[in-house]
């Protein structure tokens, strides 16, 4: 069994033992199935302590698992693995209870009998396995109706033949293939849409993607349209590309037996459709040569990106004209002049201005952004920043954001003062710091999150017009009773400790309060080791933590700097030795920032326990991976110069610029002149890429003539009052009416989307949250890298 499959099995072991069925499916859908030998070995050790009872896995989990396996294995391999894995828990005629989704989505409403056809089960809950019926709850939660099932086929474990469905009005969680005579139809979130023989509306997926087909030709059959990608050969075309069936060819765009025109080319999961009454297909073009497979990535925080996508609007109407030829790659954009100190200064000011647009709570009448108004004043904790393009308040990633920004303000205080942004940056940062501090009420009680994605992402519009009555903003509280939250507490303790150093010269009382809360929260963390996301796995799945020790190391380093107490340095090396460091600096991985800070302390005369460990890891892992990006730790450089982990397609510029931050901050005290120069050159190269110097396209809103116009950000997509703003505004294909100045978007999605030209994998559309959504943590590493580079030119 390959590493990928073995690790996937171990992950299911873990989830099946600790979560209910919906959580299993939700968590598994975000797991990256590839792994390094070191992570795989660690997973083996972990699995030995977990239950091996797979009975809690539902048919929804099975469906998602097979779909997920197909990203890495052939269909045959995927089915062989799954059928072998579930042989003792799945039966030929096993029924599955279908429960309604609390968010009201993925519900099929019928007022007539469902036609015979093949159906794919979605959102199945765990239930008894007796009889030969598919049980489903009615929408009014009265006694369930029954659907006869044809014999279960081990060759296709996720498909069921449904017959004789009662014709009463009901809502069930099935994603269906309607076997109508005139069209194909996905029966999705609400009532079925009407369609004609030349138009097929495939509905929306939970992550906000919609497909519309036109002029279909081909043979009547069932097709798995799996993971369409934008590769060099099919990027920008109107043909549906289908992934090759083997892992080795997983990035190759092939053409199916039929030709399909479509309005979008974005998908990441299998959806099955029945094609009815089709004409013979035209000869397909020759597929491009297959690239070599990328290096297998470890299962890191970045392989489980935040679930902060939104439902998508309907696609534009398509015509009946023949499909156009595949267009060539677009010509390169003109490059800006070489960047100077003036450019970095402008970018730094913009990077902080973005956070003004994220402010929640009461807004002063003289606020610099007229389109930002008072919002969410009924939240349990005030004021705060909204996480990204939504209105979630998420303390775990916000802790990393605040500590990264504070790092620059503390270590480069004089440079901030020289460029004139010290006072304004403190003012902008303060609402986020106050929110993190106000969330701790003492007595081992912490409000770690307000609202959750499944609720918040039903809304698109101005935060001030959020419908609090219909979409309540629930606060999620961690306490002594929840027992595992060291990652959350460590992240917050580091934020408060670092912020206390930012404000101690201007507001000593506030700084002392932050310091005392940081000390108390850290101590609580030492007594509640474990992952915060295990407490509320659904709500916290938007930023699920993968380790807690890195946050405690990071917090301990800051608390030493604040207090001078060397006991914190002992805590740091203890937690370091208990974790599994990785070089992907972000909201979920503080290993590299912590190592860089501790090495810098040693380089300036502090006796740091474990310094040889930190220094060796920093040189042989972090700096080796990012400064020599040849695939070590799966980190590579694109042809135009973006350095990123190749397993990621979400927020890649966040990884690049935050790694640049770590390198530049370490360079400040690095006695090795050659290495210092290389670190600063790397940091500057990633800033230059983000600002458009390498591609002619800036990825910072408001910087350079070619910059993001349709950032995935609800508030900035709204016109001026009193014009309405809702999902209709999301559908408008035009620049955002409000300038979200300084927002760093995710950027190119890399070789997972366009293997041959990873620099050309960015799309400036509002529904592209992978590459076109900003977030608080993106700008944090970006801003601190900017101030560090400014100080050295």
Phi then psi for residue 215, to 5 deg, are 60, 50
Is the pLDDT at 518 greater than 90? The verdict is: yes
Is the pLDDT at 700 greater than 80? The verdict is: yes
Q: Is 773 a catalytic residue?
A: yes
Q: Count CB-CB contacts under 10 A for residue 154.
A: 14
CB under 8 Å, gap of 24 or more: what pairs does 41-44 form?
42/580, 43/7, 43/10, 43/11, 43/299, 44/6, 44/10
pLDDT on residue 442: 87
Q: Report the pLDDT averaged over residues 333-355.
A: 92
Q: Report the pLDDT averaged over residues 370-383.
A: 96
Q: Which of 712, 713, 749, 757 is catalytic?
A: 712
Of 335-339, 356-360, 625-629, 684-688, the least confident = 335-339
CA distance 793 to 788: 9
Record the tokens describing residue 187, joined without a space: 């029966």
Q: Which of 71, 90, 773, 777 is catalytic?
A: 773
pLDDT on residue 169: 32
Is the pLDDT at 221 greater than 90? The verdict is: no
CA distance 150 to 152: 6
Best-predicted range by mean pLDDT (167-171, 242-246, 737-741)? 737-741
Of 209-213, 227-231, 257-261, 693-697, the least confident = 227-231
Of 49-58, 324-333, 515-524, 722-731, the least confident = 49-58
DSSP-H helix ranges across 276-394:
341-356
Q: Which residues contact 96 (CB under 8 A, 6 or more apart)?
A: 58, 59, 121, 124, 125, 127, 134, 135
Is the pLDDT at 705 greater than 70? The verdict is: yes
Is the pLDDT at 76 greater than 80? The verdict is: no
Is the pLDDT at 72 greater than 70? The verdict is: no
- Closest by CA to 737, choosing from 715, 756, 754, 722, is 715
CA distance 607 to 780: 29
Record the tokens describing residue 67, joined without a space: 């779909």
> What mean pLDDT is reported for the chain?
70
Q: Report the pLDDT averaged over residues 668-685.
A: 96
Q: Which residues contact 22 (CB under 8 A, 6 or more apart)?
A: 58, 60, 123, 125, 538
Which strands form 145-149's sheet, in the order they lie side by side? 133-136, 145-149, 159-163, 117-121, 174-177, 186-187
Whether residue 473 contacts residue 450, with contact meaning beta carbons closer than 8 Å, is answered with: yes
pLDDT on residue 329: 56
Is the pLDDT at 649 greater than 70? The verdict is: yes
Q: Report the pLDDT averaged over residues 780-786.
A: 98
Q: Which of 77, 362, 726, 764 is catalytic?
A: 764
Whether residue 326 contacts residue 237, with contact meaning beta carbons closer than 8 Å, is answered with: yes
Q: Report the pLDDT averaged over residues 293-302.
A: 35
Q: Is 666 a catalytic residue?
A: no
Is the pLDDT at 53 greater than 60? The verdict is: no
Is the pLDDT at 100 greater than 60? The verdict is: no
Q: How far is CA 727 from CA 460, 510, 709, in A?
A: 6, 41, 18
pLDDT on residue 703: 95
pLDDT on residue 32: 42
Region label for 443, one of left (φ > 0), alpha (ψ between -120 and 50) or beta (otherwise): left
CA distance 89 to 79: 15
pLDDT on residue 756: 87
Q: Any idea what DSSP says for residue 703?
A: S
Domain assignments of the chain as residue spans, ordered by start: 3-85, 341-790
Which of 345-375 are b and which e, b meaning 16 or more Cβ less than 10 Å from the residue's Cβ?
A: bbbbbbbbbbbbbbbbbebeeeeebebbbbb
Is the pLDDT at 125 greater than 80? The verdict is: no
pLDDT on residue 661: 98
pLDDT, one tens digit per residue, over 251-265 is 232 333 233 333 332
Q: Which residues contact 258 (CB under 8 A, 6 or more apart)?
A: 216, 217, 218, 219, 223, 275, 278, 281
pLDDT, one tens digit per residue, over 600-620 is 999 999 999 999 999 999 999
Give the dihedral sign, CA 462/467/468/470. negative
Whether residue 106 contacts residue 175, with contact meaning beta carbons closer than 8 Å, is answered with: yes
Model-wide pTM > 0.85: no
Is the pLDDT at 646 greater than 90? The verdict is: yes
More confident residue, 141 or 61: 61
Is the pLDDT at 218 greater than 60? The verdict is: no
| Strand-strand pairing, 635-637 and 643-645 | antiparallel
State the fold for domain 341-790: Glycosyltransferase (1.50.10)
Q: Which residues contact 278 (CB under 8 A, 6 or more apart)?
A: 216, 217, 218, 219, 220, 258
- Closest by CA to 251, choosing from 790, 751, 757, is 751
pLDDT on residue 130: 25
pLDDT on residue 66: 45
pLDDT on residue 330: 63
pLDDT interval class at 196 (50, 70, 90): very low
Q: Report the pLDDT averaged over residues 552-571.
A: 98
Q: Is 764 a catalytic residue?
A: yes
Record the tokens describing residue 250, joined without a space: 């997983």
pLDDT on residue 537: 87
Q: What angle do CA 754, 71, 587 make, to 5 degrees?
A: 70
Question: If you compute the radius of gyration of the chain from its CA atoms, what whole number of angstroms results?
Answer: 26
Helix (H, G, I), strand (E, B) or coil at 174: strand
Q: Report the pLDDT averaged over residues 316-325.
A: 37
Instruction: Write down how long the chain is.
Output: 793
């Amino acid at each position: 069994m390959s590493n990928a499959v073995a690790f996937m099995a171990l992950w299911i072991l873990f989830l099946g033992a600790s979560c209910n069925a919906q959580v299993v499916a939700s968590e598994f859908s975000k797991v990256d199935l590839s792994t390094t030998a070191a992570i795989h070995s660690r997973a083996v050790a972990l699995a030995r302590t977990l239950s091996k009872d797979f009975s809690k896995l539902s048919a929804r989990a099975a469906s998602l698992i097979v779909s997920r396996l197909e990203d890495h294995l052939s269909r045959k391999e995927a089915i062989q693995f799954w059928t072998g894995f579930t042989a003792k828990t799945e039966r030929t005629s096993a029924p599955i209870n279908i429960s309604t989704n609390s968010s009201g989505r993925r519900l099929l409403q019928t007022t007539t009998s469902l036609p015979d056809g093949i159906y794919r089960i979605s959102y199945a809950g765990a239930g008894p396995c007796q009889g030969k019926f598919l049980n489903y709850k009615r929408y009014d939660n009265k006694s369930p109706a029954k659907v006869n099932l044809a014999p279960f086929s081990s060759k296709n474990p996720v498909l069921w033949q449904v017959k004789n469905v009662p014709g009463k009005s009901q809502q069930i969680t099935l994603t269906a293939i309607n076997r109508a005579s005139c069209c194909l139809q996905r029966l999705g979130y609400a009532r079925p849409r009407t369609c004609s023989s030349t138009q097929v509306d495939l509905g929306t997926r939970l992550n906000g993607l919609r497909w519309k087909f036109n002029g279909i030709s081909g043979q009547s059959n069932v097709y798995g349209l799996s993971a369409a990608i934008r590769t060099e050969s099919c990027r920008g075309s109107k043909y549906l590309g289908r992934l090759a069936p083997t892992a080795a060819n997983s990035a190759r765009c092939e053409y199916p037996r039929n030709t399909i025109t479509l309005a979008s080319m974005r998908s990441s999961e299998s959806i099955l459709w029945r094609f009815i009454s089709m004409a013979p297909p035209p000869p397909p073009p020759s597929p491009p040569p297959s690239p070599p497979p990328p290096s297998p990535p470890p299962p890191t925080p970045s392989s489980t990106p935040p679930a902060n996508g939104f439902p998508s609007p309907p696609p534009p109407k398509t015509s009946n004209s023949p499909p156009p030829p595949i267009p060539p790659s677009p010509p390169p954009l003109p490059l800006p002049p070489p960047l100077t100190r003036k450019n970095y200064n402008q970018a730094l000011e913009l990077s902080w201005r973005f956070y003004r647009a994220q402010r929640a709570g009461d807004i002063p009448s003289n606020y610099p952004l007229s389109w930002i108004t008072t919002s969410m004043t009924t939240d349990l904790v005030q004021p705060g920043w909204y996480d990204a393009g939504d209105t979630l308040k998420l303390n775990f990633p916000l802790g990393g954001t605040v500590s990264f920004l504070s790092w620059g303000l503390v270590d480069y205080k004089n440079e901030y003062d020289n460029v004139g942004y010290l006072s304004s940056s403190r003012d902008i940062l303060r609402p986020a710091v106050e929110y993190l501090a106000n969330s701790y009420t003492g007595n081992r009680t912490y409000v770690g999150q307000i609202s959750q994605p499944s609720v918040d992402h039903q809304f698109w519009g101005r935060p001030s017009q959020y419908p609090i009555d219909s979409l309540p903003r629930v606060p999620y509280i961690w306490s002594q009773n929840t027992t595992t939250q060291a990652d959350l507490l460590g992240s917050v303790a580091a934020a408060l400790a670092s912020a206390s150093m930012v404000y101690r010269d201007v507001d000593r009382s506030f700084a002392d309060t932050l310091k005392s809360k940081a000390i108390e929260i850290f101590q609580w963390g030492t007594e509640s080791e474990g992952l915060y996301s295990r407490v509320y796995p659904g709500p916290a799945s938007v930023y699920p933590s993968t380790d807690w020790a890195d946050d405690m190391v990071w917090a301990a380093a800051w608390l030493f700097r604040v207090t001078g107490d060397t006991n914190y340095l002992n805590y740091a090396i203890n937690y370091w030795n208990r974790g599994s460091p990785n070089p992907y600096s972000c909201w979920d991985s503080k290993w590299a920032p912590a190592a860089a800070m501790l090495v810098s302390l040693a380089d300036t005369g502090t006796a740091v326990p474990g310094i040889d460990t930190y220094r060796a890891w920093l040189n042989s892992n972090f700096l080796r991976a990012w400064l020599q990006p040849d695939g070590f730790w799966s980190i590579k450089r694109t042809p135009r110069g973006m350095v990123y982990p190749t397993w990621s397609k979400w927020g890649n510029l966040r990884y690049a610029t935050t790694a640049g931050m770590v390198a530049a901050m370490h360079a400040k005290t690095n006695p090795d002149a050659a290495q210092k120069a290389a670190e600063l050159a790397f940091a500057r190269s990633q800033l230059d890429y983000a600002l458009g110097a390498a591609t002619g396209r800036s990825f910072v809103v408001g910087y350079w003539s070619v910059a993001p116009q349709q950032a995935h950000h609800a508030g900035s997509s709204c016109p001026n009052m009193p014009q309405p703003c809702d999902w209709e505004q999301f559908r408008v294909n035009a620049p955002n009416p409000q300038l979200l100045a300084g927002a760093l978007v995710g950027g190119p999605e890399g070789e997972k989307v366009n293997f041959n030209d990873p620099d050309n994998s960015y799309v400036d559309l509002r529904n592209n949250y992978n590459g076109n959504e900003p977030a608080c943590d993106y700008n944090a590493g970006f801003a601190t890298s900017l101030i560090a580079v400014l100080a050295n030119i």
